[in-house]
Structure 1
Amino acid sequence: MSKIRRIALVVALVATVSAVDALSATSDRSSAAARPVAEVAALPTAAVALGDSFVSGEGAGAYTSVADVNGVPQEFPGWSAPNNNAFFCHRSANASLHKANLPGIQARFNLACSGGQPHDIASASINRTSGRNVSAQLDQLRAVAQTNDIDLVLVGLGSNNSSFTFGDVASKCANRFVADAWTGWWEFWAYLGGPVEQAPCSAGDLATPAQVSAATAETTNAVRQLLTTLDQVDPDGQHRIVFQDYTNPLPFDLESKFHEEDGRDDSRDKFRDLGAERYAGGCPIHRASLAAGHLFSGNLGTLVQSVANTMRTEFPSADLVYLNVQRAFDGARLCESANSPTGTLATPIRLQDGPTGVPLTSLSGYDKIAIQRIANSCVSYFQTCQESWHPNAAGHAVLGQCLAGAAATPNRTVACVRSGNGTITIS
């Protein structure tokens, strides 16, 4: 069967997923186990990605159509469309799943969705606030399992949850810097009708220990349902599950070009030229926020590793690998070198002046009123800025190398590290 026909069949199966849901867990398991060995062996082997933007391919472009809850493929609906459109899951042909060298894998299915949360694993995303119009990822997985032997599952989950989301964290720190660079204290009330936070982000602004703990429990419950479902739908029981964590798009400190501008730096009241230069480089952020951001990334890594460890205890026979990618972009993060964003592995923050489809690469010359208008476009039409601070196509290609290593390693915990010369090492 050709790849195109297989994809068409999966779309049709998603449209009838209510019939699959009607089966009990016991029936699912019995049905899968009862399939003839020869029939299972004849199925194409498949790799599947589930989770959020860091595995869906956000930032990598080449986005493919996504079937909505009714099984209708959604193409790009326009820049002013509601952001809950299924297309904005941003499943990319350049996602790491599609770029990884996976010997023996015949078919690949990207079921992840940008902005995905633990809720979306077992429940339709559209049923929560700000969710997209797509079926539960487990329902989509069941559909794939009808015609494929699932051998590899990439899971990227935890950066978005009921307590915090990556998008909110990123926009909070970027907005504080932009407000600090363009708005004087005396303009709070005169122009904006109230105080605008301008202080650098602290660790507590991004995620408190209690929030991380709640997110860990929420993610653990979702992954538990995933592993249970895999046991039900994969008759031969032979599948590796790779838990990938997250890499920070920003460096531990900015290259000097981005914190020296005509004698102005972060310690001064006003630094619009510096602000514009950082925006052009892709990193409108206080230097003092960077440490908090890396602590947040590290906490996400701890979250993912904790989930993997818990699953090892609960599913002792499962083939589980924790993939640490926190250093996969070393030396190629935004504003880590003077030519940023050229040569980096992450997408710069880019805004649009309305839903025009034209990203602004420079904010030089804009006044505070224009900056407010531009920032509001991101709020009203999130797709205009949705790709910001995600891996770009080159970044997802690197993550594909990381995935390939995790798929082949005999180890249960691996780290994917980029060296100074760009070499990727998995150990």
Structure 2
Amino acid sequence: MARSRWWLGALAFVGVSLLVAVFVLVGEDGPPPGEPPGPPGRGPLTVVALGDSTMSGEGAGDYTPATNGRNGNWCHRSPNASVHHVELTGIVKSVNLACSGSPAGHVALGDVEQWTEQSQARRLATLVENHRVAAVVVAVGANDDPHFSRLISECFTSWFMDDGSPCSERIKTDWPSRIDRMVPKVVAALEDVQKVLAAAGYDREDYDLVLQSYASPIGPDIPESLRNLDGCPFRKEDLRWVKYTGAISLAAGLREVAAQTGVRFLDLSRAGDGHEACTGGADPSSEWFTRFTVQWDDLQSAERATHAIQESFHPNAAGHAQFGRCLSEFLASNDESAACLEGEDGHLHAAPSVVAQRQG
């Protein structure tokens, strides 16, 4: 009998020891069995793109048929877009909800439609039902008060008409106030993205939220032979203003948005230096932006004709690959802000803000 009690006691001691070991290893706050780390919910770890043409993939080609004019949808999403080049440990899926031409109101919650599509924040709310969102990257604001794409068109018209002052002379008079009016609209859009994820059970530390600025697609360092309809039909003064003032000050406004909303900021304002449209001269292979581009076949259809030059002066497939590379580096870092700058290897890298400002 004593011997039996001894064996029972020994077994009890071993059992308790094992339980204590499990408790120590797992901890009081350890996740329940089967619950994956990181973002809540179910589905693959995903990076999501929201915003306008610079994020949708305008200029990168191979647009998905559903967003290439079908039933009035001209969002122009491309499989070559930068979000699909993101490489980050654990992330296995990329989803592009951006739509060409979108203002901040289309990224936000609300009833705003862009090319037949509902709010991107609402679509994100549906996405999180079966995806675990690890990062959201947003590029928006240029189609609000700054009207950056329209600005490029105005400068083209100024060159074509060849009369009066350069378009930048007219634009710069109220450019700072345009950016000031843009800021609260982008702030509201980012706050709505955060609301959507909070409603889905996400804590702020469960995901990265990155606001990205815009790279200048054009600059003054191009051959005179391409400053026409064969490439980049702009006046020299306007080329300088877009690169050295327009894109830089737009980035400053978006940096303020990031500060107000507590999101990470990636500055692309100088990402295209030396690779702007037409800088390659006779060989465009080094360029990361489209030149003046006409889809001639679209001119044969009334409903497509107005979109025949939509791709012009947007990042091309090579540019998106470089932006995606820089974005990957930034997401993998702990930096709150960085700038995409070309390294000695000819590729873009995410330089911490303090380094980027020193080089600026």
Same fold (TM over 0.5): yes
Query: Which residues of 2 match residues 198-209 of structure 1 at below 5 A?
Result: 198-202=164-168, 204-205=170-171, 208-209=175-176
Residue 402 of structure 1 aligns with which residue?
326
Report the CA distance between 1:389 and its aligned residue.
Answer: 0.4
1:334 aligns with 2:277: yes
| Residue 290 (1) aligns with residue 239 (2) | yes
Number of residue pairs aligned between Structure 1 and Structure 2: 313
Q: Report the equivalent of 2:310.
A: 386
Residues of 2 paired with 1:305 and 1:102: CA distance?
24
- What is the rounded CA distance, in whole Å, between the counterparts of 1:221 and 1:158 in structure 2? 11
- The alpha carbon displacement at 1:340 in A equals 5.2
Provide the residue aligned with 1:324 in structure 2.
267
Residues 5-63 of structure 1 deviation map (CA, whole Å, 9 limit, x = unaligned): xxxxxxxxxxxxxxxxxxxxxxxxxxxxxxx9838465321111101111111100121
Which protein has the larger Cα radius of gyration, Structure 1 or Structure 2?
A: 2
Whole-Å separation in 2 of the counterparts to 1:334 and 1:420? 21
CA 1:205–1:118 in 2, change beyond 3 Å: closer, same or farther? same
Matched residue type, 1:385: I
Partner of 1:55 in structure 2? Answer: 55
Shift of the 201–234 alpha-carbon distance from structure 1 to 2, 3 Å rule, reads farther
- Which residue identity lines up with residue 38 of structure 1 in the other structure? E
What is the aligned partner in structure 1 of residue 35 from structure 2?
38
Deviation at 1:199, TM superposition (A): 2.7
**2:197 corresponds to which of 215, 230, 242:** 230
Alpha-carbon deviations, 1:85-127, whole Å to 9, x = none?
Answer: 22x101110000001212211221111101010110223443x
Contact 1:54–1:390 (8 Å) recurs in 2: yes
Among 323, 329, 338, which residue is 1:414 paired with? 338
State whether residues 47 and 105 of structure 1, in contact with CA within 8 Å, keep that contact through their aligned partners in structure 2.
yes
2:183 equivalent among 209, 212, 216: 216
CA positional deviation for 1:219: 1.3
Which consecutive unaligned segments of at least 5 residues does structure 1 have? 1-35, 66-73, 181-196, 259-273, 313-319, 359-376
- Equivalent residue number for residue 102 of structure 1: 88
Name 1:166's counterpart in structure 2: 148
Partner of residue 140 from structure 2, selected from 149, 157, 162: 157
| Cα separation, 2, equivalents of 1:288 and 1:50 | 33
SS of the equivalent of 2:166 reads coil
Partner in structure 1 of residue 254 of structure 2: 304
C-alpha change, 1:288 and 1:99, in structure 2 (3 Å) is same
> Does structure 1 conserve the Cα–Cα contact (< 8 Å) formed by 2:41 and 2:131?
no
Contact 1:203 1:296 in 2 (8 A): no
**Shift in Å at residue 210 of structure 1?**
1.6
Question: 1:246 is matched with which residue?
Answer: 214
Candidates 67, 88, 110, aligned match of 1:123: 110
| Contact 1:158/1:303 (8 A) holds in 2 | no
Instruction: Quote the sequence identity (%).
Output: 28
Q: CA deviation at 1:240?
A: 0.3
| Contact kept in structure 2, 1:245 and 1:323, CA below 8 Å | yes
Alpha-carbon displacement from aligned partner over 1:386-410 (angstroms, at most 9, x marks no partner): 1110000000000101110111111
Q: Which amino acid aligns with 2:209?
A: I
C-alpha separation in 1, matches of 2:340 and 2:47: 20
Give per-residue Cα distances to partners, 1:360-406, cap 9 Å, x unaligned. Answer: xxxxxxxxxxxxxxxxx9x9833201111000000000010111011
Structure 1 pair 203–111 and aligned structure 2 pair: CA distance change class (3 A): farther
C-alpha RMSD of the superposition = 2.7
Matched residue type, 1:278: N
Q: CA deviation at 1:354?
A: 7.8
SS in 1 for 2:349: strand
Q: TM-score, normalised by structure 2?
A: 0.79
Q: Are residues 1:112 and 2:98 paired?
A: yes
Higher relative contact order, structure no. (Cα contacts within 8 Å, ≥ 6 residues apart): 1
Distance in 2, Cα, partners of 1:324 & 1:284: 27
Q: How far, CA to CA, are the matches of 2:101 and 2:157 in structure 1?
A: 19
Separation of aligned partners in 2, 1:354 and 1:125:
31
- Give distance in 1, aligned partners of 2:228 and 2:138: 33
Give a deviation string over 1:51-78, Cα, whole Å, max 9, x none: 111111110012124xxxxxxxx36447
- Quote the offset at 1:283 in angstroms: 1.2
Output the CA distance in 1 between the equivalents of 2:315 and 2:184. Answer: 26
Pairwise CA distance, 1:327: 1.9
Shift of 1:249: 1.0
